[in-house]
Structure 1
Amino acid sequence: MIVDRIPLKPLWAPSRAFVEQSNLKKFQNWLFVKKGLYFRDYHDLWDWSVTDLEDFWESIWQFNDVKSHSMYWDVLVNSKKDFTAIQWFRGASISYAEHIFRHKNANRPALLYQSEREPLREFSWRELEKQVTAVAAYLRLSGVNAGDRVAAVLPNCPQAVVAFLATNSIGAVWSICSPKMNTTDILDRFHPIEPKILFVADGYFQNGKSFDKSAAMKDLMGKLPTLKKTILLPYLSPTAQITRTETWSEVVTTPAHTLEFTPVPFEHPLWILYSSEANGKSKAITHSVGGCLLEHLKIFALHQNVKPGDRFFWHSNTGTLPWNFSIAAMLSGATPLLYEGAVNYPNLNILWELTEKAKINHFGGNTAYFTACKGENLNLQGYRFNQLQSISSTDATLSPEVFEWIYQKVKKDVWLISLNSNVEIGSSFVGGCPTLPVYSGETQCRLLGYKLEAYDKKSATASKELGEVLLSQPMPSMPLSHFKS
């Protein structure tokens, strides 16, 4: 929770130039020029964002020049009876993938990729667009329509991004699991969503070892009765085969000329994420195209300060929210780095080494990784991190000791962001602010548009003391539905 605090010396404070050049400051300037709104500080801006919901979210739409193929006639249709029945931007028709491809640029790569067995390489926008166009054409020829589900069991590689963008470009719904997962758990997730197409890899590498998943994928295919086709990515071996599959190389040579985007309603499903329940079963959570588009434009541009040309690296496995975040950063013009490998192979330096080598601007990892680095008192003296602007912890708040270790051992002038990624909303309730200082062991702020407050259990009123944390206003990225296996 955010409380009135005793003034302490911050670990980091943004310079005047950093503040003035931030996307958040540009947004505030835009609000002043376009709408006559002036805010003294971030807290004033936040208060407006949760008080005038329609004006705030429409401002996010307008500031980011969201493209709609049809006009919306309401920003917010409020249902007093049902909090979840609220409609946003009714009438709009949009494409998530289209907003990614408007940043294509021949002068910089679309993706960067490295794995435990492959060196760092670039993936051009031309190559990305060509493959997405072919895969989208293949899906259409296979009878996939808007709203159909496309599932994948793929490692963190460019082909996974291609498959997602192709799926979204035709209005289909995406869902992915890591091949590192148990096959039974994958089936628990995919069976209820009834996928029509399945992308699979023959295995993966971890800690310098290969793990063949061919038999497991064949078994999975046989237990998904809605499948029409399965596409095999030979990740372990170029000669890998699984019966009743087509190969990735065949799919990406599907004749196609132009990448077309199928616009869908704001509340149309984008992807299905998963969280675990107490009984061990998976809960499928469906997020909307429009809700994710607006939320991700907000969080990456304003709260992460991601700009066109920045290099973005949040270590993750497929099937986790940070993987979706890596793709979402492309909406702000970033080039994501995909790394398929363990965080401690051959040692804990691997992610820092990659951050230095790839000239990363925004680096993210989970709390356990940073805590492990501090625990080993990792020696990072050989790295300069000249391009590194921010470090993000994507789970629970880092301890004060880890905060201080990062500023002492990694980089003094770095913006440390602690956010708690939440699969229910496909984002985070709290996170970074480029115009506020960083204090040891603390999250900087509640994110714009999220009226998150602590409530006293006895009086059911907002309180500045510890209490039950509740969201008391709706937001566009609320989940559409839940499926239980």
Structure 2
Amino acid sequence: MTQPQQLQGSLVWSPPAGESNSMDDFRAVVNQRYNLDLQDYHQLWRWSCDHLDQFWSAVWDHTGIVASQRADRAIDDDAPIYPPPKWFPGARLNFAENLLRFRHSQRVAVVQSTEVDTVTGKLDERSITYAQLNTAVARAARALRARGVAVNDCVASYSANNIENLVAFLAASSIGAVWTSAAADFGPEGVLERLRTVRPKVIFSVNAVRYNGKVHDHVAKLRAVVEGLEEGRSPDEQRLEGVIVVPYVADAALPEAAEGWATWDAFLAEGEGDDSIAFEQLDFNHPLWILFSSGTTGKPKAITHRAGGMLIQLAKEHLIHGGLRETDVFFQHTTTGWMMWNFLIAGLVSGCTIVLYDGSPLKPASVLWDLAEKHGVTTFGTSAAYLGALEKSGYVPREHHQLKVRQILSTGSPLRAELYPFILEKIGADILIGSVTGGTDLCSLFAGHNVALPVRAGEIQARNLGLDMDVFDDAGEPVPVGREGDLVCKRPFPAQPLGFWKQPESKYFDSYYAQFPGVWYHGDFVSLSEHGGLVMLGRSDGILNPGGIRFGSSEIYELLEAAESQDVTSCIADSLVVALKTAKGDDEVVVLFLVLQPGCPADASPDEFAKLVKQLVGLIRAKRSARHCPKFVRKVTGCPKTLNGKRIEVPVKKLINGAPLSTINLATLANPEVLPEYIAIGEELREEMKRH
């Protein structure tokens, strides 16, 4: 296999010659509309950042935004980025109305699927047309109104990824209520930390979920959240007035009847009537949904996004960057607690079919590919971690399935270069591999897939239209192409959050605008490639800096997970790399934590572990540099992860450098029980650093 260094930046896919695509079509529209001669994407991107008003006005028209009143302009071209400016002043629209623009169609809008029942072998799967979706939303919206839900009320979900959850969101949005969501696998404490901030009037949930071959009761967790919301609630805070429970797992118990509680069918019966929906016409900048940051070192940020900003940004990404069409089938593996759920359901703006899946992605390894083949998925969204796990599993989708996938979108962490040829060899030879980046902070993308550009291994194709991204050094100055630095955005963008719901404005300012005056600081450590793409190196706050040489943790992870390293790393199940300050605090060293496969030689024998460490250090030295080599390698029982399954480096870095456990928000972690092990190791390492 080609070495990673040779793969990085190598061409792996190009747009079909002679075929039109959505991006080039949009560029032609812009050229004609404004009498320009933009020759390629990079010229279009530069123009889009320099002429915000013209660009976003063109996007409004090209994506067919449905509005009862449009604005005279999008924004002043010289508007500052903070305070976040108002966009399209005077425009009135409704987000749900735009997602239901095809509401009279008999095409399938949504497919819902779960794991196969391991007892009966039955697959719980169903679908709904756009017309049926509209009817369900109409009934749910009337039922919410009957329960007193109005503009600016908060409606929450603590639920599975199912059709009812989507209907509830669209119904709330049609009224102008503000939506927030937590995945069913979140623990009650973490959910309460979020919902006590927003104080929902109604919660939608399920009776149980099926995951990893087992049915898990959800009612007890739901009751704990409901009771916890009432405890400590002040008289001036909104009381939870309704709980709607979907009988998601047929054989699982439903909660006993209680005031304000109802099953899904009973709730819909409260909204009996025709299929008409009274879409509230709201300001472009009206709040749509609240997404929460992981909050591993403090209370989660209640990031509040504007309806119009989300609509135009996500429509641009799906319709222009991704070329999503009515004939497409769009799947994104996600829970309801991750921003990729919002990204997925926004695909309805194209009139395509979206696929919701709830369950384990690797039990068995074929499950998502069975789904893709059965429903003709054309855009397959997943995570870099899943693709790495698929590679390790040895499962080869193209040997077992007739697939129609033309795009694979990857997010969550950097997609290492050697996974690009793996995708083309094992999944499909003609696939646009779209590594994308953005985040909860903007609930959309800063850079990502682009149907008009070639794909190069290890690179995100390009910075997205209308987003003036750059890379700054520590002094706030742009760095040359190929040099690492911090990702920033220098101009306003519609997906800028309005602020943090009921949290101090200072917290919002400090999160994005305090680092470098006059720009948005995103917190990613990146470099721009010579091809105009973006190379992700890790989170800036978790960057390693031994001896003054900055590098991203992904440089270590990529090596440990590479196929050609497996003769050394096959016994490694998981890893975490962080920095430990020297005794004087004037430098730092690299610490590598390893979770080993149970029963492997290095797990059973100290001598074998020492042998593994020696091999790993040699591998890292040979493939990266001496600066990359860990000074300490320690075996642990588990790597701490967020509720969405992401590695957490910064809290571990704090703990091993002596911060107390109280500085870590345990409610945001999936496995906080592993943290004491890191505290103990940190104490040992700091003592050793003092001795040497």
Please report the TM-score for the alignment, with normalisation by the length of structure 2. 0.66
2:13 is aligned with what amino acid? W
Instruction: Return the alpha-carbon distance in structure 2 between the equivalents of residues 320 and 17 of structure 1.
Output: 38
Judging changes above 3 Å, is the alpha-carbon distance between structure 1 residues 461 and 394 closer, same or farther for their aligned structure 2 residues?
A: closer
- For the pair 1:14 / 2:24, whether they are aligned, the reply is no
Aligned length: 478
Judging changes above 3 Å, is the alpha-carbon distance between structure 1 residues 411 and 344 closer, same or farther for their aligned structure 2 residues?
A: same
- For the pair 1:198 / 2:216, whether they are aligned, the reply is no
SS at match of 2:399: coil
Q: What is aligned with 1:309?
A: 327
Q: What is aligned with 2:508?
A: none
State whether residues 102 and 130 of structure 2, in contact with CA within 8 Å, keep that contact through their aligned partners in structure 1: no
Instruction: Return the alpha-carbon distance in structure 2 between the equivalents of residues 456 and 421 of structure 1.
Output: 20
- For the pair 1:241 / 2:240, whether they are aligned, the reply is no
Q: What is aligned with 2:90?
A: 91
2:184 is aligned with what amino acid? P
Query: CA RMSD of the aligned region, Å?
Result: 2.1
Q: What is aligned with 1:355?
A: 372
Q: What is aligned with 2:404?
A: 387
Unmatched runs of 5 consecutive residues or more in structure 2: 1-5, 118-122, 231-238, 504-664, 666-692
1:128 is aligned with what amino acid? L
| 1:267-286, Cα deviation, whole Å (9 max, x unpaired) | 10111111123425322111
* Counterpart pick for 2:310 among 281, 292, 309: 292
SS at match of 2:24: helix
Q: What is aligned with 1:411?
A: 428
- For the pair 1:32 / 2:31, whether they are aligned, the reply is yes
| 1:341-399, Cα deviation, whole Å (9 max, x unpaired) | 10111x22211221111100100111110001112232224345442110010222211
SS at match of 2:168: helix
SS at match of 1:270: strand
SS at match of 1:11: strand
Judging changes above 3 Å, is the alpha-carbon distance between structure 1 residues 267 and 196 closer, same or farther for their aligned structure 2 residues?
A: same
| 1:246-304, Cα deviation, whole Å (9 max, x unpaired) | 11111112222212211110110111111123425322111000100010011111111
Q: CA deviation at 1:34?
A: 2.5
Instruction: Return the alpha-carbon distance in structure 1 between the equivalents of residues 246 and 8 of structure 2.
Output: 55
- For the pair 1:229 / 2:242, whether they are aligned, the reply is yes
Aligned runs of 1:415-430 on 2, under 5 Å? 415-430=432-447
Instruction: Return the alpha-carbon distance in structure 1 between the equivalents of residues 25 and 362 of structure 2.
Output: 39
Q: Which has the higher mean CA deviation after the structures are superposed, 128-137 or 29-38?
A: 29-38
Q: CA deviation at 1:80?
A: 6.1
Judging changes above 3 Å, is the alpha-carbon distance between structure 1 residues 427 and 71 closer, same or farther for their aligned structure 2 residues?
A: closer
Q: What is aligned with 2:187?
A: 182
Instruction: Return the alpha-carbon distance in structure 2 between the equivalents of residues 221 and 406 of structure 1.
Output: 44
SS at match of 2:30: helix
State whether residues 321 and 421 of structure 1, in contact with CA within 8 Å, keep that contact through their aligned partners in structure 2: no
Instruction: Return the alpha-carbon distance in structure 1 between the equivalents of residues 53 and 294 of structure 2.
Output: 33
Instruction: Return the alpha-carbon distance in structure 2 between the equivalents of residues 17 and 402 of structure 1.
Output: 28
SS at match of 2:302: strand
Q: CA deviation at 1:334?
A: 1.8
Identity %: 29
Aligned runs of 1:35-434 on 2, under 5 Å? 35-77=34-76, 83-104=82-103, 106-116=105-115, 117=117, 118-225=123-230, 226-237=239-250, 240-242=254-256, 243-244=258-259, 245-253=261-269, 254-257=271-274, 258-345=276-363, 347-434=364-451
Q: What is aligned with 2:601?
A: none
SS at match of 1:252: helix
Instruction: Return the alpha-carbon distance in structure 2 between the equivalents of residues 445 and 391 of structure 1.
Output: 16
Judging changes above 3 Å, is the alpha-carbon distance between structure 1 residues 37 and 267 closer, same or farther for their aligned structure 2 residues?
A: same
Judging changes above 3 Å, is the alpha-carbon distance between structure 1 residues 305 and 379 closer, same or farther for their aligned structure 2 residues?
A: same
> Radius of gyration: which is bigger?
2
| 1:378-424, Cα deviation, whole Å (9 max, x unpaired) | 22243454421100102222111111111111111111100124110
Please report the TM-score for the alignment, with normalisation by the length of structure 1. 0.94
Unmatched runs of 5 consecutive residues or more in structure 1: none
State whether residues 81 and 492 of structure 2, in contact with CA within 8 Å, keep that contact through their aligned partners in structure 1: no
| 1:419-458, Cα deviation, whole Å (9 max, x unpaired) | 1241101111110111111111111000011111112334
> Larger relative CO (CA 8 A, sep 6+): 1 or 2?
1
Instruction: Return the alpha-carbon distance in structure 1 between the equivalents of residues 188 and 249 of structure 2.
Output: 18
Judging changes above 3 Å, is the alpha-carbon distance between structure 1 residues 140 and 241 closer, same or farther for their aligned structure 2 residues?
A: same
Judging changes above 3 Å, is the alpha-carbon distance between structure 1 residues 381 and 199 closer, same or farther for their aligned structure 2 residues?
A: closer
Q: CA deviation at 1:6?
A: 12
